[in-house]
Chains A and B, each alone.
Chain A
Amino acid sequence: MPRPAKGARLGGGPSHERLLLAGLARELFQYGRITTTEAKARRLRPVAEKLITKAKKGDIHNRREVRKTITDVAVLHTLFTEIAPRYENRPGGYTRITKVGPRRGDNAPMAVIELVEALTVAQTAVGEAEAATKRSVKETEAAAPVDAAPADAAPVEDAAPADAVEETKEG
């Protein structure tokens, strides 16, 4: 049986909904970060991430598939040449939704949806190290936690301020 899409229905009909989501995806790839209602952001996330996954493959077939949604060729080019290569090492989760409170006027819950930064080599290493630490913790349940806690804390703190600095420059 067909399963309905998760989240709110948008617009006045199926074609309107497709067009709204296509427009939101185009704006997201064009500007990198957009403010919209939370319902629209939640619907947009899977659409945008599937488009990025197709763009990462980068062949002509996938370009034509993406072009069904992103009809603006300038944005299509940006997506394939700039956005997709950034996420080469990232297995999904290319967007981030942050709630920013209700809108004045109709009190609609608003959210910022943005493309996350590329994984740097250091972050990838940290991620692997954390995963390794978790594995070792699981394996040696009794002995490891005392050793693991400081090792976990240091890299996370290193990564977070770097992110914050990058974002402040952008915004």
Chain B
Amino acid sequence: MAVPKRKMSRSNTRHRRSQWKAAVPALVACDRCHEPKLGHIACPSCGTYNRRQVLSV
């Protein structure tokens, strides 16, 4: 079985982890309530998509 030959340095560990970032979601304003929401998805605050009530809120 393959095993690591050397201990991984803190520097290498931290370099690796520094690349692990959260991306900012692209939000748009809802047509009806102008709340920020994800594109192409029914608005979670007013429950409409394309001026059609999809979710009961």
Contacts and interface: CB of A to CB of B under 8 A. Distances in A.
B53 A101 contact: no
A125 B42 CA distance: 29
Contacts of B5: none
Interface in B1-57: 38, 40-42, 44, 47, 49, 51-56
A83 B51 CA distance: 25
B42 A171 contact: no
A98 B53 contact: no
Contact of A101 (B41, B51, B52, B56): B41
A100 B53 contact: no
Contact of B42 (A100, A160, A163): A100
A24 to B, nearest CB: 18
A101 B54 contact: no
Contacts of B49: 98-99
A171 B38 contact: no
B15 to A, nearest CB: 27
A61 to B, nearest CB: 37
B44 A99 contact: no
A163 B54 CA distance: 11
Interface string A68-106: 000000000000000000000000000000111100000
Given A98-B42, A160-B52, 20 more contacts: A98-B52, A98-B54, A99-B40, A99-B41, A99-B42, A100-B41, A100-B44, A100-B55, A101-B41, A112-B42, A112-B54, A112-B55, A160-B51, A161-B51, A163-B52, A164-B52, A164-B53, A171-B47, A171-B55, A171-B56
Interface of A: 98-101, 112, 160-161, 163-164, 167-168, 171
